[in-house]
Amino acid sequence: MKILLLLFITAAAALPKAAVGSVHYTTCYSGFNKGGSFQTFSDYVPDLGLYNFDNTISSATVTGIWFYYEDEDYNLASSGSVYWLHGFDYFSNFDNSYDDVFSSLRYGGSPDCLGCDTWTVYQGQYFTGSEFYGTTDSNFFGNLQGQVSAILLTGTSAWTFYDGPSYSGRSVCLYPNTVHDVSSSGEVLNLGIYPDVTQVGMYDNSIQSVRRGCWSDVVFKAPEVHAQGQAKNGAWGYFRPEAGQEHSAAGQGHPAAGHSRPAARPQKV
Ligand SMILES: [Ca+2]
């Protein structure tokens, strides 16, 4: 299988995904309601201290999907909180108890295109730690081989993930089209937010390959992650693993209940 594009990101090195400009950006403010000082980021920031913006952010505007981490290196070595914002020029304050805490941030999906079909696998639940990103079939996840705990999809294609190499073993088909943000010009951002692979019937740290399309009898459309705020053009929310309150709809009750749709036969999407 020819691999057209696979880019490897390490939390420590925070290599840029591409040399071209990002379509993602977040403008972060030191005060609520866009007050105080501000900085705009369009690439990964593993340490906001390098920008003199550690433990400073109180409100933000985003285009694309962005994750904000309580600790450096995307919470690689911690179980701190993770906040997320996605949308088109979508603004939100962070809540009072969680302003002035973020120490790293990054976006998800393609660096070039908000609507492109992509998958990204993450080392930790709630999109923490290292990640591995791709746009084609892959039986290689770099140093995340056997370490996948969360998955983010963008675009419209379903993807089938396997716990064996070369598209073998247990599998699950995941759809990205569970969250839609619509811009003022009608552009659509489709997201599939899967903060914990065990919520879609896969063992933690088991996934070894991914194939475009829906080739499994086990099919999930991600339950919408609970948002603290939501509008037509975006939403925001958080995961607080240390409190045992991930605030994910999938985390309430049996994760699979009501969200699986067995397919009669594998369907190519
Ligand atoms: Ca912090």
What is the model's pTM?
0.83
Classify 261 as helix, strand or coil.
Answer: coil
CB atoms near residue 218 (< 10 Å): 19
Ligand 1 centroid to Cα of residue 81, in Å, is: 9
- End-to-end CA gap in the chain: 19
Residue 76, number of CB atoms within 10 A of its CB? 18
Q: How far apart are CA 117 and CA 189, in angstroms?
A: 11
Q: What is the pLDDT of residues 160-172, one digit of tens each?
A: 999 999 999 999 9
**Better pLDDT: 183 or 259:** 183
The pLDDT score that the predictor gives to residue 96 is: 78
Cα angle 237, 69, 105 (rounded to 5 degrees) comes to 100
> pLDDT, tens digit, for every residue of 237-258?
999 886 654 444 333 333 332 2
Q: How far is the CA of 54 from the centre of ligand 1 (A)?
A: 7
Read off the pLDDT band of 4 (50, 70, 90).
very low
Using the structure block, give the residue that is written with the tokens 């920008």: 51
C-alpha 106 – ligand 1 centre gap (Å): 15
Alpha carbon distance 93, 41 (integer Å)? 17
Distance 111 CA to ligand 1 centre (A): 26
Length of the chain: 269
Q: Mind listing the pLDDT tens digit for each residue in 72-117?
A: 999 999 999 999 999 999 999 998 778 899 999 999 999 999 999 9
